[in-house]
Amino acid sequence: MTIKEKVLIVGAGSIGRRHAKIFSKHLKIDIADISYSRIKLSNKLFKVNDSYFDYKKAIVENNYKFIAICTPPHLHLEIAKLSVKHNNNLFIEKPLGINCKGWKKIAIECKKKKLINYVAYCHRHISYFYRAKKMIDANKIGKILHANMRWGSYLPDWHPWEKYYNFYMAKKEQGGGALLDESHGIDLIRYLIGEIIEVSAFVGKISDLKITSDDIAILNLKTNKNSYIQINFDLLARFPRNNLEIVGTKGTIIIDRVDHYLKIFSVKNKSWKKFKYKKDDFLKMYKQQAFYFMDCINKRKRTIIDINDALKTQSIIDSAFLSSKIKRNVKIK
């Protein structure tokens, strides 16, 4: 990819700026954001080619190598529609959207127009999850019987520069909430363990946070390989937790994304082996993801997490909301 090629980043908030910092070292970047202060900050932090308040104007007036959609989730679909109409490859922040509606059509359009598309479930690019995947695929822990995922932190601690109740995460209609946001965890279960075929969930608000979105999501999942998974996501834990325990017939893997380690217990050796990582190994995922995506574009290669793949995660999210509402198990179609 030459430096002359230009990309558009829609949404210059916290993740948009993180991507802009990486992409601006390799490509010309345009920024679109409705907020003057966000545009001003981006221009201060990186070399920005052009800035727009209206992403539609940017898309209509330019040819982009790709468009990175980094707005709150309720806008992902309409931005993707216009981007595809104007033949742009897509880098879409997770979650895909607020639900599955409309995305199949976008995936079909992308296929027809041969547009590369990627949904940024970036945890797959963390080296310790990658190592876990290799261990599981090499049958190091045998058949996976069950897994537990705990993923939580206190929403008011996330963005110290703004009131948490003004942040989109506090607003259900904008796609905030524990389930949609922490759906990284669902993507990881699919990546490491298998496809989900059944969901039973409680999704709700149990704290006194001033939010309309959910602050807790407790999911029971069954996979196509008969593994049982429990997930507990929240936005209210006063100390961050991010831990996954996978129990197999030949061993156990525990991954901790707060203390950055992976350990594996072997039934045969009756001992643990621990691999320690640094916070930097975790943060590198953004750079690794960006390079992976640029490589897919250069080689015209389908990405590992395209819209069709992300739709599988999104349908588990939709089914969890439904299960909580109807208080019954939901089978994934």
Question: Closer CB to ligand NAD, residue 181 or residue 234?
Answer: 181
- For residue 106, give the H/E element and its range: helix 103-113
- Is 156 a binding residue for ligand NAD by CB under 6 A? The answer is no
Q: Which of 38, 124, 125, 222 binds ligand NAD (CB under 6 A)?
A: 38
Residue number with CB closer to ligand NAD (96 or 193): 96
Consecutive H or E run containing 298: helix 279-298
Structural tokens at position 278: 């640094």
Amino acid at 123: H
Taking CB under 6 A as the binding criterion, the range among 71-79, 103-111, 270-278, 299-307 that sits at the site for ligand NAD is 71-79
Quick check: 10 binds ligand NAD (CB under 6 A)?
yes
Sign of CA dihedral 144, 146, 148, 149: positive
Question: How far does CA 149 lie from the centroid of its chain?
Answer: 16
Distance CA 33, CA 170 (A): 20
> Rounded distance, CA 182 to CA 257, Å?
13
Could you give the CA distance from residue 72 to residue 1 in angstroms, rounded to a whole number? 29
DSSP lists the bridge partners of residue 147 as 229, 246
Q: How far is the CB of 256 from ligand NAD (least distance, A)?
A: 17
Q: Does 168 bind ligand NAD (CB under 6 A)?
A: yes
The C-alpha atoms of residue 66 and residue 79 are separated, in whole angstroms, by: 12
Instruction: Output 263 or 312, the one with its CB closest to ligand NAD.
Output: 312
Q: Would you say 17 or 222 has its CB closer to ligand NAD? A: 17
- By CB under 6 A, how many residues form the interface with ligand NAD? 25
192 touches ligand NAD by CB under 6 A: no
> What span, in angstroms and rounded, lies between the C-alpha atoms of 45 and 299?
30
Q: Which stretch binds ligand NAD (CB under 6 A): 26-34, 98-106, 134-142, 272-280?
A: 26-34
The three-state secondary structure class of 269 is coil
11: its two tokens: 């949404």
Rule CB under 6 A: choose which of 19, 28, 65, 94 binds ligand NAD: 94
Among 8, 15, 221, 305, binds ligand NAD (CB under 6 A): 15
Size (the chain), residues:
333
Whichever of 67 and 120 has its CB closer to ligand NAD, that residue is: 120
Query: Is residue 12 a contact point for ligand NAD (CB under 6 A)?
Result: yes
Q: Could you say which of 33, 182, 214, 234 contacts ligand NAD (CB under 6 A)? A: 33
The 97-136 site mask, x for binding ligand NAD (CB under 6 A), equals: -----------------------x-x--------------
User: How far, in Å, CA of 189 to CA of 231, rounded?
Assistant: 10
User: Judged by CB, which is closer to ligand NAD: 120, or 196?
Assistant: 120
d(CA 301, CA 237): 40
| CB 24, CB 46: distance < 8 Å | yes
Mask of contacts with ligand NAD, 41-60, x by CB under 6 A?
A: --------------x-----
Binding residue for ligand NAD, selected from 35, 43, 166, 298, defined by CB under 6 A: 35
Nearer to ligand NAD, 39 or 196 (CB): 39
What whole-number distance in Å separates Cα of residue 136 and Cα of residue 163? Answer: 42
Residue 96, helix vs strand vs coil:
coil
CA distance 224 to 227: 7
Q: Which of residues 172-191 bind ligand NAD (CB under 6 A)?
A: 181
Task: Provide the binding-site residues for ligand NAD, judged by CB under 6 A.
Answer: 10-16, 32-35, 38, 55, 70-73, 75, 93-94, 120, 122, 167-168, 181
